[in-house]
Chains A and B, each alone.
Chain A
Amino acid sequence: SYELTQPPSVSVSPGQTASITCSGDKLGDKYACWYQQKPGQSPVLVIFQDSKRPSGIPERFSGSNSGNTATLTISGTQAMDEADYYCQAWDSSTDSYVFGTGTKVTVL
């Protein structure tokens, strides 16, 4: 089965840049998206089709995807960005949507 691997945790100081990676075999050949999930809340889509932001998502969220790695970047990180982040892609070989293992972002 297809797997997407993320670092368990990332720490960032307020105002600095946080980068979260998502690794999978030939992930760059697929579209990657990213979700933010705060405690007790439903996930929220923050990036789709590698780098597009849904309406209402701040410009400080950006994404890229190449080779085996997709990256979510949060520029000028704010305390409100503290959350779990999950990547996700569609695997055509198994006809299934796959989520990454999740990364907890802590704003220190």
Chain B
Amino acid sequence: QVQLVQSGAEVKKPGASVKVSCKVSGYTLTELSIHWVRQAPGKGLEWMGGFDPEGGETIYAQKFQGRVTMTEDTSTDTAYMELRILRSEDTAMFYCTTHFQGETDAFHIWGQGTMVTVSS
């Protein structure tokens, strides 16, 4: 059974960076395609980017390109999402999620979320 366990809540100042981790268990990271989704308080889900298994590379939503980097450490089965130049509007819950068993149209499994608060 696949589980995604994320790092704890963060509080950051405007202009800083945050790096959120997502630890995979039950499968190896190479068997999955990790993506990241943002949800501002009281708002909807917003896809940020993730690994495209067909293209073999990480793809990013245009809105976040240049400000976000998603990486993976296969030795520890942990994925990371770093968001830079934080602003108050980035205050949100960040989820890691994944496709499963080759089905790439939907996100089958989700982490518990990491709350990032940006405040001076």
Contact = CB atoms under 8 A, between A and B. Distances in A.
Given A31-B105, A96-B62, A42 B111 contact: yes
Interface stretch (A20-28, A71-79, A87-95): A87-95
For B52, B95, B108, which residue has the most chain A Cβ atoms within 10 angstroms? Answer: B108
Interface of A: 1, 31, 33, 35, 37, 42-45, 48-49, 54, 86, 88-90, 94-102
Interface in B25-71: 35, 37, 44-47, 52, 59, 61-62
Given A48-B108, A49-B105, A49-B106, A43 B95 contact: yes
B106 A42 contact: no
Prevailing SS type, chain B contact patch: loop
Contacts of A48: 103, 105-106, 108
A96 B47 contact: yes
Contact of A99 (B46, B62, B103, B104): B46
Given A49-B105, A49-B106, A42 B47 contact: no
